[in-house]
Amino acid sequence: MAAESELSRVVAEWRLRDVRDVWVSTVWDLDFTETEPLDPRIEEEITEDGLGAFSSLYQALTPFATGDDKSRGTFVEMTNFEPVEREFEFSATMSITHAKYIPELAYHGLWLLCSPLHGTENEILRCVFQRILSVILMVPGGTGSRHAVLAITSAVISARNQAVKFISSVVEELKEVAFPVLRILLQHICTKVPDKADYRTYAAQALVNLLNKLPCMEYADFIAWLYKYSLHTKISYRVFALDVALALLDVPERNLESSILLDHQKFLKHKFLVQVMVFGRCSDRAPVVRSKALSSFAHCLEMKAAATLDSIQDLLQSKYYQ
């Protein structure tokens, strides 16, 4: 009864009932970056009162958390509420009394929502990852436009980095439960990324960081999908596939495992990235893709990794003897 009374007091004080219902996408394929921003009055009061006010609200809501879309949306809104000047870890053992920033509390709330306490893990993960996508892509969550982007500032980059780190931690914790949902998130990074050079670069880096959380079999399956994506009729897709290929070449090759199907083993090799994903686009029918592919191949020539250099040498020798 005491907890319920405290919750009622805090809810009344913050006028949370005045917040309009957030449009909820129950289908993953819809444009789930379209969400309504936090009510301006609530945002203003949190700004004035600071961490202490949000902490009291957080503590009052925690025992009653249901994992509904409104709570997920509020937590995600708060992940980039203010700049965070230090790194913080994500775990169920985190104590909110040690939190110094509102985003820390927000991510702790999201972490709890991703736990098995709030229904089907897969369903909750889908909803949470949906919400965080806009933070990773550095686009506003409530504009309703796929062409709108946030200015690339240190605060926006910090929020993006924390979002990637959070998802990585969740995947490491839940493992097999999270792998299928992570794959879907990676696919939607590819299809939702803004068609602007800097945003593509940041998105490709985030994609590769998250992709490395997958085991070899799932990793190879995604590269197979990425290859099909690179052949799409949309020019922006083919351009972004080149950004991803370059980002993948910056990380070491995966070691082959016996569980990998023979026809999927090539997807673990830098040779496939260099010769097929990059060089194969140098004859693309679209000038912008050809230009991007040629500059990407030139970048490959400057790389020092032995696997990349061997792939280029093998390619040039095969062309010479044809």
Q: Length of the chain in residues, anyone? A: 322
Q: What is the pLDDT of residues 209-261, one digit of tens each?
A: 999 999 999 999 999 999 999 999 999 999 999 999 999 999 998 888 777 87
Q: What is the mean pLDDT of the chain?
A: 76
Mean pLDDT, range 109-122, rounded to an integer = 66
Instruction: Please tell me the predicted confidence (pLDDT) of residue 111.
Output: 73
For residue 69, being part of any structural domain is answered with: yes
Q: What's the token pair of residue 193?
A: 């990324």
- pLDDT on residue 259: 76
Whether residue 15 lies inside any domain: the answer is: no
Q: Which of 27-31, 129-133, 200-204, 237-241 has the lowest mean pLDDT?
A: 27-31
Q: Into how many domains does the chain fold?
A: 2
pLDDT of the residue at 264: 86
pLDDT of residue 33: 43
User: What confidence tens digit (pLDDT) does each residue in 261-276 have?
Assistant: 788 889 999 989 998 9
Closest CA to 172 of 89, 231, 109: 89
Residue 239 lies in a domain: yes
The pLDDT score that the predictor gives to residue 153 is: 92
Residues 68 and 206 occupy one common structural domain: yes
Q: What is the mean pLDDT of residues 176-191?
A: 94
Per-residue pLDDT tens over the stretch 161-170:
989 998 998 8
Element (H, E) at 36: none
Regarding predicted confidence, which is higher, 117 or 320?
A: 117
255 and 240 together in one domain: yes
Asked whether residue 219 is assigned to any structural domain, the reply reads yes
Q: Which residues contact 300 (CB under 8 A, 6 or more apart)?
A: 246, 249, 274, 278, 308, 312
How many angstroms separate the CA atoms of 105 and 84, rounded?
12
Write down the pLDDT at residue 321. Answer: 42
Q: How far is CA 104 from CA 67, 273, 287, in A?
A: 18, 38, 45
Same structural domain for residues 91 and 201?
yes
Check whether 189 has a pLDDT greater than 70: yes
pLDDT tens digit sequence for 32-56: 444 445 555 555 655 555 555 555 5
The verdict on 168 and 288 lying in the same domain is no
Whether residue 16 is contained in a domain is answered as no
Structural domain of 236: 215-321
pLDDT confidence band for 125 (50 / 70 / 90): confident
Which of 214, 247, 274 is where one domain is finished?
Answer: 214
Decide if 109 contacts 58 (C-beta within 8 A).
Answer: yes
Residues 304 and 161 both lie in one domain: no
Question: pLDDT (tens digit, 9 = 90+) per residue, 56-108?
Answer: 555 544 544 444 555 556 666 666 666 666 666 666 666 666 666 667 777 77
Residues 206 and 111 in one domain: yes
Determine the pLDDT at residue 97: 64
221 and 275 housed in the same domain: yes
- Check whether residue 39 and residue 114 sit in a common domain: yes
**d(C-alpha 228, C-alpha 241), whole Å:** 10
Tell me the CB-side half-sphere exposure of residue 275, using CA atoms within 13 A.
18
Summarize the confidence of residues 131-141 as an average pLDDT. 89
91 lies in the same domain as 165: yes
pLDDT tens per residue, range 292-307: 999 999 888 888 776 6
Q: What is the pTM of this model?
A: 0.73
Helix and strand numbers (H, E) in the chain are 14, 0
- 8 A C-beta contact, residue 192 and residue 133: yes
